[in-house]
Structure 1
């Protein structure tokens, strides 16, 4: 829910008829209707606007949905699974989330602790994401050694599973040098996030290390690998404190 703009989420979930609003040139079936006789997963349900919470409650209570711009009610048989990163009970007590919807959703509750509280799962999850990324990019899946696995478990993972998945993708694309990023705590701000400039610098450094490793420190081969001029390569190596001698076998 949080990924969809507020002015579009109603149409996405409930659908609309042609002419229901400006730009609605044809009928659109919403996600709830598409999930008929199936399951619909709603992520970050706490971000759903209050008016839509009322409509969702009606779907749960009556198993009926009405498209925008329509007077016809569609019968649906759908199971809703909702995920949240906030405490919905607290939000409902504060009046930010409807209490009746909270109790209607809270049939079976599954608490999934953050990675920092289940670090024994990190190597297994990382391997899983590496296999997915390797298949996606048609790359080799390189298993972690014991030292690399330990390094992952020592990281706090402020970005939780998304951060781990992104690191696994970089690991597949750039090799073991990508794991060096977990050591650079100074690159993160107080919220555990980094600016665009910091992210770009980090990626540039990892790309240089990966290319220098692959080319065994050869400046000529690294220039070809990265498609940059000799002076540019030397300037970037100096910027990131890299010495070609460190990469020679």
Structure 2
């Protein structure tokens, strides 16, 4: 890894700040001062900044209970990014593995591990996601069968993949899908002439939202949770 990138990942310095401390002669490998920003840091090498040993932490895996009014974007737009809810360093290196609409709440996974995120977001992986859905109207008796057969969305050439629908009450259901089409859950129920009034994601793959997390709260995933995404 390039020295300037290594320093950025091991500290809170920006790339330009890292280059500056290197040029100032404040970086060594314990033996020699290194002034070349493109110097390749080897696996077994220890880099020192101001005589303090640096190290790069492993990838981060975060579970957030997303509240309404935040967007699953890495930057603020018309609404604030969910990353503002995280009290962590180097938030700009994080990204969201599976987005939610601004008015949708629930399980949001955030990481800086691109390969791990790909296992969740790639359509080929068909990672299952479970939602708790509140509806404006009662569902018809054959709704579950229609979801199993695949709902045809407006402006889509192919129907959705089979989905699992479990009735909690006349207007509350648990829906499990294995795709991530634009506004998919809302569009699926709209195709049946219904309207989603509240939407909450509870599960992604084998990872379930921690019931102790209040809206806006987060925690790091356990090793078992991380490894469940393969």
Choose between structure 1 and 2 for higher RCO, CA contacts under 8 A separated by at least 6 residues. Answer: 2
Task: Please say whether Structure 1 and Structure 2 have the same fold, judged by a TM-score greater than 0.5.
Answer: no
TM-score by length of 1: 0.27
TM-score by length of 2: 0.28
| Larger helix share, 1 or 2 | 1
| Larger strand share, 1 or 2 | 2
